Structure 1
Amino acid sequence: MIQDHLYGDTIFALSSGRLPSGVAVIRISGPQTRFAVETICSNLPEPRQAVLKTFKDQDGNIVDRGLALFLPGPRSFTGEDCGEFHLHGGKAVVDAMLSALYSFERCRLAEPGEFTRRAFANGKFDLTVAEGLADLIAAETDSQRRLALQISSGAQAQLYATWRTELIRARALIEAELDFADESDVPGSVSDQVWLAMEDLAKRIRRHVADGKRGSIIRDGYRVVIVGAPNAGKSSLLNALAGSDVAIVSDEPGTTRDLIEIKLDLGGLPVLVTDTAGLRETDGKIEKIGIERALERASAADLVLALTDLSDPREPRLSDVDDRAILRIGTKSDLASTTDKYDLVISTRMDHGLDALLNALTDRAAAAAGNFSDPLPTRRRHMELLLDTGKEIDAAIEGIAAPLEVRAEFLRRASHSLGRITGDVDVEDILDVVFSQFCIGK
């Protein structure tokens, strides 16, 4: 595990991505950094200044010529002495530099996320900021980038720290009333003001948890599922949206038996569109499984596109789906004239109505994501711990018949759950999970 040698070893890694490339950046952090940079560059560059150097290994062999940076701790990303070597991005060049770094005592290749984990351990930022950095690296759409930037800036951490301060203050007031009720400088019965404040905090936490749905849409995608009878044009629509033949199109019913998914970027939001098996009565075991999966995915979708072939109208039955989450679409409009019953009509063969459908998907996704100027919870672990926090506060508020000591303990447990989100308390069990999501070199 990383923590066993967190401070003893010096770590290094290629941080600039796949080779070959125009420039490769190798990072190094730890106790041996100063000596390694000084040895490889023949002398130590001025702190925080990029200097052109000839890089040599410990035997004096030239590795390459490029830019070197030395960033003394604690004013560095990890809080330790750090260095960077900017060299030519050829595989042989990078391998030679990595071999040169391996030759220094207690220098090794970094594990995934180890640079960021050291920054967290050295108090450079909290766990939510680290997770925001991971999301920023993984961001594929503009909305994901903006949300990740907001989280990595510390806005979420600041919100949770403010709530935790409120909880700690409430506990302090309750315990002051218990321990120093006879002292003149302790306010008389503070319980009423404490519980009113806690009711307000519980409401704010509930609203924040409810916003988690919006955070999930931005981070993981707005889920759209296409359903309909066999040959209603589901696979043709998926191919039209994807701009390529990702699904088999055939006149034979039951061609699609498993879920086929594509990802779109609509208005800067990730939109996941899933094609499903045609809904019909069947004796085929495999097709029946596909239909069950289709209905299950539709019931969990943010939006269902219910397709009906206008030339052979068979309406899909969606008893488990909220009608507000259904967009009814008539397909093959070039083969029929009756279109009044549907929200939209399209023809993939004639390229008719597809722009209107894309606009509708974009508008629906944007409305579901909403305005995310305020911090949003984006991860399941955040949501679970926020729910735990709310439950403990509710238990303290509702425990009118319980002794004040017990109600104060509920508040302590609430602040503990909140502290686990940011990593302020007892998070050793989740650190490996969080930082393993990073790439090597970050």
Structure 2
Amino acid sequence: MDTHLPGLHHLPSPSSQDTIFALSTSPGKAGVAVVRISGPLATEALRRATAQLNSGAPGRVPPPRRATGRRIIHPKTQEVLDRAIVIYFPGKFRRLLYAPGYIRVECEDIVELHIHGGPAVIRSVLSALSTLPGFRLAERGEFSHRAFDNDKLDLTSLEGLADLLNAETEAQRRQALRQADGGLYRLYEQWREALVRSLAHLEAVIDFGEDENIEDGVYDEVYQSIQQLADSIRAHMHDNRRGEILRSGVRAVILGPPNAGKTQRQVAIVSPTAGTTRDVLETTLDLGGYPVVLADTAGLRDSHDEIEQEGINRALQSLQHADLRIVLIDINTITADLTQPRANATTCWDALIANPLVRTALAWPTPEESAPVPTTTPSPTLSVPSTFIVLNKADLIDPSSLASLQARLETTPPPVPSPHRLNFQVISCTTGQGLDALTASLVKFLRDHYDTSTASHPYITQARHRQALDACLVSLSNFLQLREQDIVLGAEELRHGALAIGKITGRAGIEQVLDAIFQQFCIGK
């Protein structure tokens, strides 16, 4: 059974009883800086390190959650350090496990000092607080760790808070905020409580079934409930890793023949000489609010240069982890025969995939080979192209030929069906022609594949969540394969399943992940 009760903890270690303080805003010159104080002596800091603005009388504890003007003074020299706003957040009561019974103690209070953000002011206030007995500078993530210890935050909310601090794009911010607000916690806790209820019913049958006649129909109800729960978990995990990809960034790989215009001048030195890119070069972009890790690769061609061959191998390897492929082709390589009277779209397709390395990178068979047969039915979200074929250097051909080429490629299917859904874009990196349309198409792809804001529940964002849910599904599957006569074994499987979900939120067995989580935080959070 679940033995973890909210608000019920072992006696804290001496270090957790220290009063801690730290700068909670970014270091450096700013208009306002926030110094946070947390612990049993937080209100003592208010009394000893502040004075009332008008009278200069010793500081009193202000009304909770109300901004109050105070002078910040040195507790020993009484020197005025700054004029500030202070806010007091009283702690709530909790119960601590103390054999043979319980004792009721108060949670630590929190005080915030909103001071001027000059470096000298910040140093003087922190130095003054360090002179108070029982005070020390907070460690990385210690404020959040104490919030977890006091049942104010669960592990998924803490992870969401860490992601919120590290969010660089709007999509990442929305996803992290939703998780920090408890979206994942409520879902997982609902599943865990359902497992605990089913487990309680089975244990009641095991312990009292024969005496109380309560076994009739109970096992069937539990079986149906577990079957539905397993289906819900599978559906939740069948998300194409949207949340995890959005959290770390969508990996987009640019590939194509040499000198097609792949490499950006801001990322690497470029020249008209083919084959100058020898490695995979990465840069991070904010594309329509979505994080994109853009990888530029070596030009795909036959080469006897060992270094260039290694670059080409790395380019092909990078495709294995790509979420989006952008094939950049020099448009002039497929328009040379358009003036011929018998030229048609087929000749354009043949020229497009003439490079065997490009064809290999796209897993695109030749006309002599058979096209791959899809093994699964694509989901509706995959209807947007995942491979973009971008024809560059459009400024070097006349507009009429360009329009003719686009019409042929868009209206005539390739001689061999591509295993990817294709999107053609014609651009000129020199003049900027078509770049807005290409950007809009890429943003649409990202929105259709990785927008998590409209889902009924947040997506999985951490590998450990997926591992724990996998372990839970194994236990539920084992239960569903047992016979009713094996009810004792079934109860044990449900117990393992509940513990697996409990590890996600912090209800059980989470000591090994705490350090990894809190190291993502900065000092003062």
73, 76, 79: which one pairs with 1:61? Answer: 79
Distance 1:229-1:414 versus aligned 2 partners, 3 A rule: same
Task: State the distance in 2 between where 1:435 and 1:307 align.
Answer: 42
Shift of residue 75, structure 1, vs aligned partner: 8.4
Higher mean alpha-carbon deviation, 30-39 vs 45-54, is at: 45-54
Other structure's SS at 2:46 match: helix
Shift of residue 45, structure 1, vs aligned partner: 3.2
21, 24, 38: which one pairs with 2:30? Answer: 21
Higher mean alpha-carbon deviation, 327-336 vs 295-304, is at: 327-336
Task: State the distance in 1 between where 2:261 and 2:219 align.
Answer: 64
Q: Deviations over 1:188-226 (max 9, x none)?
A: 143232222212111111111122611123322222110
CA contact (8 A) 2:219 2:484 kept: no
Task: State the distance in 1 between where 2:122 and 2:359 align.
Answer: 57
Task: State the distance in 2 between where 1:372 and 1:406 align.
Answer: 36
Other structure's SS at 1:254 match: coil
Alignment of 1:341-380 (within 5 A): 341=409, 343-370=424-451, 371-380=454-463
CA contact (8 A) 1:6 1:118 kept: no
Matched, 1:434 2:450: no
Matched, 1:46 2:62: yes
Other structure's SS at 2:513 match: helix
Higher mean alpha-carbon deviation, 395-404 vs 142-151, is at: 395-404
Matched, 1:420 2:503: yes
Task: State the distance in 2 between where 1:321 and 1:132 align.
Answer: 36
Residue 474 (structure 2) aligns with:
391
Residue 292 (structure 1) aligns with:
313
Shift of residue 62, structure 1, vs aligned partner: 1.9
Matched, 1:309 2:326: no
Task: State the distance in 1 between where 2:503 and 2:360 align.
Answer: 40
Task: State the distance in 1 between where 2:484 and 2:329 align.
Answer: 60
Residue 178 (structure 1) aligns with:
206
Shift of residue 399, structure 1, vs aligned partner: 3.3
Report which of the two structures shows the higher radius of gyration computed on alpha carbons: 2
Higher mean alpha-carbon deviation, 169-178 vs 361-370, is at: 169-178
Task: State the distance in 2 between where 1:349 and 1:375 align.
Answer: 42
Give 1:18's aligned amino acid.
Answer: P
Distance 1:305-1:189 versus aligned 2 partners, 3 A rule: same
Task: State the distance in 2 between where 1:103 and 1:185 align.
Answer: 68
Give 2:273's aligned amino acid.
Answer: E
Other structure's SS at 1:163 match: helix
Residue 192 (structure 2) aligns with:
164
Task: State the distance in 1 between where 2:485 and 2:271 align.
Answer: 68
Distance 1:133-1:153 versus aligned 2 partners, 3 A rule: same
CA contact (8 A) 2:250 2:291 kept: yes
CA contact (8 A) 1:57 1:100 kept: yes
Other structure's SS at 1:437 match: coil
Give 2:185's aligned amino acid.
Answer: A
335, 339, 349: which one pairs with 2:396? Answer: 335
Give 1:204's aligned amino acid.
Answer: S
Root-mean-square deviation (CA, aligned residues, Å) is 2.3
Task: State the distance in 2 between where 1:152 and 1:186 align.
Answer: 42
CA contact (8 A) 1:16 1:24 kept: yes
Alignment of 1:263-278 (within 5 A): 263-278=284-299
Give 1:384's aligned amino acid.
Answer: Q
Q: Deviations over 1:102-155 (max 9, x none)?
A: 111221111111111101101112111111111112222222121112111112
Alignment of 1:61-210 (within 5 A): 61-74=79-92, 79-184=107-212, 186-210=214-238
Task: State the distance in 2 between where 1:5 and 1:294 align.
Answer: 54
Other structure's SS at 2:430 match: coil
Give 2:430's aligned amino acid.
Answer: R
Alignment gaps of 5+ in structure 1:
none
Shift of residue 248, structure 1, vs aligned partner: 2.5
Task: State the distance in 1 between where 2:465 and 2:190 align.
Answer: 16
Shift of residue 21, structure 1, vs aligned partner: 0.8
Other structure's SS at 1:182 match: helix
Give 2:449's aligned amino acid.
Answer: A
Distance 1:247-1:5 versus aligned 2 partners, 3 A rule: farther
Task: State the distance in 2 between where 1:308 and 1:401 align.
Answer: 63
Distance 1:168-1:192 versus aligned 2 partners, 3 A rule: same
Give 2:272's aligned amino acid.
Answer: D
CA contact (8 A) 1:79 1:124 kept: no
Q: Deviations over 1:320-362 (max 9, x none)?
A: 6577632222221223444444711211112111111111100
Shift of residue 404, structure 1, vs aligned partner: 2.0
CA contact (8 A) 1:128 1:157 kept: yes
Higher mean alpha-carbon deviation, 391-400 vs 426-435, is at: 391-400
TM-score, length of structure 1 as denominator length? 0.91
Matched, 1:31 2:40: yes
Shift of residue 82, structure 1, vs aligned partner: 1.2
206, 212, 217: which one pairs with 2:245? Answer: 217
Distance 1:312-1:119 versus aligned 2 partners, 3 A rule: same
CA contact (8 A) 2:169 2:286 kept: yes
Higher mean alpha-carbon deviation, 321-330 vs 374-383, is at: 321-330
CA contact (8 A) 2:187 2:457 kept: no
Alignment gaps of 5+ in structure 2:
1-11, 51-57, 95-105, 335-353, 365-384, 410-422
Shift of residue 83, structure 1, vs aligned partner: 0.9
Give 2:473's aligned amino acid.
Answer: G
387, 390, 409: which one pairs with 1:326? Answer: 387
Task: State the distance in 1 between where 2:284 and 2:132 align.
Answer: 46
